[in-house]
């Protein structure tokens, strides 16, 4: 019998697959999806646009229409290059494969995005987490010291951060970009919900790349992420993109959606408004601490009650959220609540009141 572990790279053998909870029949507030359906008034025109997709042919290899649409909505100049990924996860994988020289490492603040660790392990890169400071802000001195010692090939920072939800101080981010000897990727997955972004820094630094995705904007099922930055970097990474990685249905659907970008940003605005209401309602509950968020979720800490019990009781009440209390020492007592529709959030708040009073 062939034993997988005799042949697998040891770092692969040590990996566990990314776990996705079964959400059937539950109000789904665990994965930062946009709770709103595709805009009703666009549905027929979107479906009509799919008629033109020839499923017997390979899709456009370079996705020129889609890239043009991304250039338009992001306001990109022609000196900025774009790399497309099947979700930003795939972009992270391409980046890390490209940089995984022997001894090379990724440096990133923690608590942070779980995929940063998983993909760096899978690609054989070293992984150096740097603990966040007070208020989940960057500990700038610790970051700069670690950069100095580790000389990371790649610094990864999600802005706003997942799972903490806050945005980092932009002066700190600039200091990190300046100090980093290699690439810095700022992951702006939550840009539709944030008050600031770093896209207009692109002309200023030759080692900065900004990554975005459609996943949090109501189009998670399409799996489309894109990386922006200096052309020479994007050209160097392009050979790692497998041919046709963006399928024809995604190219057509994303191009269509981006030509109606305002409708999706309007959904994001509703989510931001709901986030504020939800934060107020949660903050009014005794024993609940709500952390400031510029994303489409709220991190909350429970005092005097086991978050695993709250998580289980919410599930019993038909609501799925994410228990992060064991994910990182700084997250003990914490659940992450994705902002849903007004009705979903009302169900969550009322269920939580019952649970905490019970
Ligand atoms: C949700 C999320 C993404 C999205 O990944 P996709 O593969 O594009 O769906 C990327 N980065 C962070 C930090 C996220 O939280």
Is the pTM here over 0.95, yes or no?
Answer: yes
Predicted pLDDT at 17: 86
The atom of ligand 1 lying closest to the CA of 90 is 7
Distance 142 CA to ligand 1 centre (A): 25
List the residue whose alpha carbon is closest to atom 2 of ligand 1: 189
d(CA 62, CA 245): 9
Q: Which of 116, 87, 49, 169 is nearest to 327 (CA)?
A: 116
Distance 99 CA to ligand 1 centre (A): 20
Q: What tens-digit pLDDT sequence spans the chain (358 residues)?
A: 889 999 999 888 888 888 889 999 999 999 999 999 999 999 999 999 999 999 999 999 999 999 999 999 999 998 999 999 999 999 999 999 999 999 999 999 999 999 999 999 999 999 999 999 999 999 999 999 999 999 999 999 999 999 999 999 999 999 999 999 999 999 999 999 999 999 999 999 999 999 999 999 999 999 999 999 999 999 999 999 999 999 999 999 999 999 999 999 999 999 999 999 999 999 999 999 999 999 999 999 999 999 999 999 999 999 999 999 999 999 999 999 999 999 999 999 999 999 998 7
CB 169 within 8 A of CB 134: no
d(CA 317, CA 94): 41
Predicted pLDDT at 3: 92
Neighbour-count burial of 62, counting CB atoms closer than 10 A to its CB (0-12 exposed, 13-18 middle, 19+ buried):
middle
List the residue whose alpha carbon is closest to atom 1 of ligand 1: 189
The atom of ligand 1 lying closest to the CA of 224 is 8
The atom of ligand 1 lying closest to the CA of 220 is 9
Predicted pLDDT at 18: 85
Distance 139 CA to ligand 1 centre (A): 23
Distance 115 CA to ligand 1 centre (A): 8
The atom of ligand 1 lying closest to the CA of 225 is 8
- HEC profile of the chain: CCCHHHHCCHHHHCCCCCCCCCCCCCEECCCCCCCCCCCHHHHHHHHHHHHCCCCCCCCCCCCHHHHHHHHHHHCCCCCEEEEEECCHHHHHHHHHHHHCCCCCEEEEEECCCHHHHHHHHHCCCEEEEEECCHHHCCCHHHHHHHHHHHCCCEEEEECCCCCCCCCCCHHHHHHHHHHCCCEEEEECCCHHHCCCCCHHHCCCCCCEEEEEECHHHCCHHHCCEEEEEEHHHHHHHHHHCCCCCCCHHHHHHHHHHHCCHHHHHHHHHHHHHHHHHHHHHHHCCCCEEECCCCCCEEEEEECCCCHHHHHHHHHHCCEECEECCCCCHHHCCEEEEECCCHHHHHHHHHHHHHHHHC
d(CA 318, CA 289): 23
The atom of ligand 1 lying closest to the CA of 216 is 1
d(CA 3, CA 352): 48
What is each CA distance from 174 to 25, 130, 228, in whole angstroms? Answer: 44, 17, 17
Distance 7 CA to ligand 1 centre (A): 31
Ligand 1 environment, Cβ below 6 A = 32, 87-89, 113, 158, 162, 187, 189, 213, 215-216, 225
List the residue whose alpha carbon is closest to atom 5 of ligand 1: 88
d(CA 215, CA 88): 9
d(CA 217, CA 319): 22
Two tokens, residue 63: 């996705």
């Amino acid at each position: 019998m062939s034993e997988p572990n005799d042949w697998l790279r040891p770092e692969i053998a040590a990996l566990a697959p990314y776990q996705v909870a079964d959400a059937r029949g539950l109000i789904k507030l665990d994965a930062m999806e946009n709770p709103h359906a595709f805009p009703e008034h666009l549905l027929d025109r979107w479906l009509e646009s799919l008629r033109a997709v020839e499923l017997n042919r390979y899709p456009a290899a370079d996705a020129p229409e889609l890239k043009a649409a991304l250039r338009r909505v992001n306001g990109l100049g022609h000196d900025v290059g774009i790399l497309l990924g099947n979700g930003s996860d795939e972009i992270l994988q391409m980046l890390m494969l490209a940089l995984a020289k022997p001894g090379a490492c990724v440096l990133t603040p923690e608590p942070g995005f779980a995929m940063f660790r998983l993909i760096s392990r899978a690609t054989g890169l070293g992984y150096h987490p740097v603990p966040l400071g007070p208020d989940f802000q960057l500990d700038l001195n610790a970051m700069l010291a670690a950069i100095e010692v580790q000389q990371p090939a790649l610094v990864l920072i999600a802005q706003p951060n997942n799972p903490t939800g806050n945005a980092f101080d932009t002066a700190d981010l600039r200091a990190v970009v300046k100090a980093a000897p290699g690439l810095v990727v700022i992951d702006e997955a939550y840009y539709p919900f944030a008050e600031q972004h770093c896209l207009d820094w692109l002309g200023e630094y030759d080692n900065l790349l900004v990554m975005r995705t459609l996943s949090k904007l109501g189009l998670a099922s399409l799996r489309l992420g894109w990386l922006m930055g200096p052309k020479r970097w994007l050209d160097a990474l392009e050979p790692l993109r497998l041919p046709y990685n963006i399928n024809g249905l995604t190219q057509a659907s994303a191009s269509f959606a981006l030509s109606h970008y305002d409708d999706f940003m309007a959904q994001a605005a509703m989510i931001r408004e709901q986030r504020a209401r939800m934060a107020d309602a949660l903050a009014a509950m005794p024993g609940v601490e709500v952390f400031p968020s510029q994303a489409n979720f709220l991190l909350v800490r429970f005092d005097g009650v086991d978050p695993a019990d709250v998580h289980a009781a919410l599930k019993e009440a038909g609501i799925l959220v994410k228990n992060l209390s064991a994910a990182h020492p700084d997250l003990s007592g914490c659940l992450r609540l994705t902002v849903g529709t007004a009705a979903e959030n009302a169900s969550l708040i009322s269920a939580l009141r019952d649970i905490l009073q019970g």
